[in-house]
Amino acid sequence: MKPIYSRLTIMFFGLIGTLPLSAQKQSSNDIIIDSITFSQTRAKIVELPNGAFEKHVFEKQGKKLHYRQLLPINYSSHKKYPLVISLHNSSRIGDDNEKQLEHMAKVWQRPEIRSKYEAFVIVPQFNERSSNYVYDVEGNYISKPFTDIQLVLDLIKQFEDSHQVDASRIYLVGYSMGASTAQNLMSIAPDKFTALVSLAAVPDLSHIEALKKQNILLIHGQQDVDNPYAGSVALFQHLQGNKHLTFNSYTNLDHDTITIPFLLTDEIPAWLFKQKKAR
């Protein structure tokens, strides 16, 4: 059974008002997503064709990592572009090189996003859980990366060697298990990544020092019973003083609805593209 964090969550809201201006930022949104909005929004993303995402397979030491690759719409080999790594949730595990194109990944294929936010986008597909959830010695429900997490870093390195990537703008975006994996990657290689957007993650609390100066946007619904909301509260509290951290809470959203506000807007790309490497 997952832990109940009600006391921690109550303490969190009591502390928000006392945070100094130099500390991290937090906001609360009471938007409600009804079933019609949910279905219609997802349908608009699903109807986008997948063909622009090229199929590739990265291999190293007998291991394979399937991935899809989206090039900037007006790609020029003489120009450097940001690189976005989009990481999928556990329902997309497999090796068909198809299912990982979940809604958050396909946002980058929307014509208005692709033209305004030119970037390379890599969408790996994991054939097992990329993050596993365990309890630490303090009883926190946390995420740990799977044994082949280095494959993702090796793929990024190979891609940088073969494409004009702006190394100062490599971004991580993940939802659910993918958000946990994004946190794992940022913890393992903090100097590699410029910013992280984490939607509905089970947090990585094992390398807090590595995250204390990173650009991080935490997004979580308070009604989430799959990956408890209080996990993001705990991470936010552990990172007190990180002025590059923002936590956006959604009072009425749960694990399924938390992505809906971001599918037809440019909120996430706009935030990412404003970030510079924290010093």
With 70 as the cut, is the pLDDT of residue 21 above it?
A: no
The verdict on residue 243 lying in a domain is yes
Rounded Cα gap, residues 138 and 10, in angstroms: 19
Quick one: residue 61, left, alpha or beta (phi over 0 = left, psi -120 to 50 = alpha)?
left
Domains contained in the chain, number: 1
Is 236 inside any structural domain?
Answer: yes
Residue 69 lies in a domain: yes
Q: Residue 202 in contact with residue 143, Cβ under 8 Å? A: yes
Q: What is the CATH number of the domain that holds 212?
A: 3.40.50.1820
User: Under DSSP, is residue 218 helix (H, G, I), strand (E, B) or coil?
Assistant: strand
Of 209, 206, 199, nearest to 229 by C-alpha is: 199
DSSP codes, 15-84:
HHTT--TTS-EEEEE-----HHHHHHHHHHHHTS-STTSEEEEEEETTEEEEEEEE--TT--TTS-EEEE
* 154, part of any domain: yes
- DSSP 8-state symbol, 138: T
Task: Assess if residue 279 is contained within a domain.
Answer: no
Is residue 209 a part of any domain in this protein?
Answer: yes
In this predicted structure, what is the pLDDT of residue 150?
A: 98
Residue 246, CB half-sphere, CA atoms under 13 Å: how many? Answer: 13
What's the confidence (pLDDT) of residue 22?
Answer: 55
Residue 1 lies in a domain: no
Instruction: Kindly tell me if the per-residue pLDDT of 217 is higher than 50.
Output: yes
Q: Provide, rounded to the nearest whole percent, the portion of the chain with pLDDT above 70.
A: 91
Q: How confident is the model at residue 23 (pLDDT cuts 50, 70, 90)?
A: confident
Distant-in-sequence, close-in-space partners of 72: CB < 8 Å, separation ≥ 6: 81, 114, 118, 119, 120
Q: How much of the chain exceeds pLDDT 90, in percent?
A: 87
Residue 279 confidence (pLDDT): 56
Which structural domain, as residue segments, surrounds residue 119? 6-274
For residue 259, is it within any domain? yes
**Tens digit of pLDDT for each residue in 132-175?**
999 998 889 999 999 999 999 999 999 999 999 999 999 999 99
State the angle between helix axes of 150-162 and 177-188 in degrees (0 to 180), rounded to the nearest 10: 70
